[in-house]
């Protein structure tokens, strides 16, 4: 998993509340068995019109925000079903952090497992950042310093669980964390293979 330390880039202002996971990645695209390739379907029903053409009113179709690496949104982002594909789609599109006043719990957890930083800020601060993004101001999300900064001077600190912060900074998912103990696991397996009863002696 790619570490998250500090990301500076374009922030797309998705000014909607209760953005659910079916909007993030519609159910008809969940048949894929690999984690890659979901970015093309991100917000599919909002990005495209029924005839398949782009919806010019949707923020990611705005030339200013097509290359966004950060996403701003309203409260309760990621609600609905528990599909991890929502995080996969955001990451595959290129979104590394989502900034919102609140998140649905399962989506919030899935972000950390997939290298996306969900940043919770008060609604007035998110609205201020949206206004700045609309004016073309780039944002920086700094996980080391735990702060969101705009290129024109706004600075909003955020809180994050220390363990989750460490996991993202080091680029570790659950498997990666387990593999940091690979030497101890190998030693345990060697003892068990040599003498199955030895594992109970410690």
What pTM value is reported for the model? 0.87
Q: Report the mean per-residue pLDDT for the chain.
A: 91
**pLDDT score, position 72:** 98
Strand stretches in 30-78, DSSP E: 70-73
- What structural domains does the chain harbor? 6-170 (3.20.19.10), 172-202 (no CATH)
Average pLDDT over residues 157-170: 96
Long-range CB pairs of 155-161, under 8 A, 24+ apart, other chains included: 156/121, 156/125, 156/129, 158/119, 158/120, 158/121, 159/120, 160/117, 160/119
β pairing state of 11-14 and 70-73: parallel
What burial class does residue 168 get, using C-beta atoms within 10 Å of its C-beta: 0-12 exposed, 13-18 middle, 19+ buried?
buried
SS3 assignment, position 196 = helix
SS3 assignment, position 117 = strand
103 within 8 A of 78, measured Cβ to Cβ: yes
Q: What is the pLDDT of residues 70-127, one digit of tens each?
A: 999 999 999 999 899 999 999 999 999 999 999 999 999 999 999 999 999 999 999 9
Chain center to CA of 68: 13
């Amino acid at each position: 998993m790619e570490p998250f330390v500090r990301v500076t880039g374009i922030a797309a202002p998705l000014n909607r509340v209760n953005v659910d996971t079916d909007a993030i990645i519609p159910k008809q695209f969940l048949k894929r068995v690999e984690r890659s390739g979901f970015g093309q379907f991100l917000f599919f029903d909002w990005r495209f019109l029924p005839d398949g053409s782009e919806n010019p009113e949707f923020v990611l179709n705005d030339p200013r925000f097509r290359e966004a690496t950060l996403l701003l949104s309203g409260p309760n982002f990621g609600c609905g079903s528990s599909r991890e594909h929502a995080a996969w789609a955001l990451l595959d599109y290129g979104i590394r952090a989502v900034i919102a006043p609140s998140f649905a719990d399962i989506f919030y957890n899935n972000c950390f497992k997939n290298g996306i930083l969900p940043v919770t800020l008060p609604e007035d601060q998110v609205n201020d950042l949206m206004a700045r993004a609309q004016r073309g101001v780039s944002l920086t999300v700094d996980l080391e310093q735990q702060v969101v900064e705009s290129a024109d001077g706004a600075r909003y600190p955020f809180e994050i669980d220390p363990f989750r912060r460490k996991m993202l900074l080091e680029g570790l998912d659950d498997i990666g964390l387990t593999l940091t103990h690979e030497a101890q696991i190998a030693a345990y397996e060697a003892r068990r293979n040599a003498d199955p009863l030895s594992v109970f002696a410690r």
